Amino acid sequence: MREPDRIVRLKTVVARTGLSRSTIYRKIGEGTFPAQLRISVNGAGWRESDINRWIADPAAWRPTCLSVACTAMSAPGANRK
C-alpha cells in the first residue's frame, strides 16, 4: 500500500530546493513551482511529492491536474493576494 503524501512547510521547502522565500512565491506566480496548500487558517504547506518532482526536473515541472483544486488554481488571479 502506498504511503500518504506528507505536507512540508516553507522552511523545509527552502532547505530542500535552495531557493529563497521570494523566489519560491515568484515561481508559483509564474506557474513554474508547485503551489502551496492551505492547511489551516494561517498555515500553508506543500505536498512532498510535488517538491520531489520539482527537484528532480525543475525545467520540465508543470502542475498535475488531478483534482478540482488544480482547475481553481489555474483561474486568472487565483494565486494573487
Q: What angle do CA 69, 5, 65 make, to 5 degrees?
A: 30
Write the DSSP symbol of residue 80.
-
Answer yes or no: is 20 within a domain. Answer: yes
By residue range, what is the domain housing residue 41?
Answer: 7-73
Instruction: Output the domain CATH number for residue 51.
Output: 1.10.238
The pLDDT value recorded for residue 5 is 85
Q: Based on the structure, what is the number of domains in the chain?
A: 1
C-alpha grid cell for residue 46? 506543500
The pLDDT value recorded for residue 4 is 67
Answer yes or no: is 11 within a domain. Answer: yes
For residues 60 and 20, the model is more confident at 20
Q: What angle do CA 24, 41, 7 make, to 5 degrees?
A: 50
Can you give the pTM of this predicted structure? 0.71
For residues 36 and 60, the model is more confident at 36
User: pLDDT at residue 61 above 80?
Assistant: no
Answer yes or no: is 15 within a domain. Answer: yes
Answer yes or no: is 57 within a domain. Answer: yes
The pLDDT value recorded for residue 59 is 87
Answer yes or no: is 62 within a domain. Answer: yes
| Tens-place pLDDT, residues 14-23 | 999 999 999 9
- Chain position carrying cell 531557493: 19
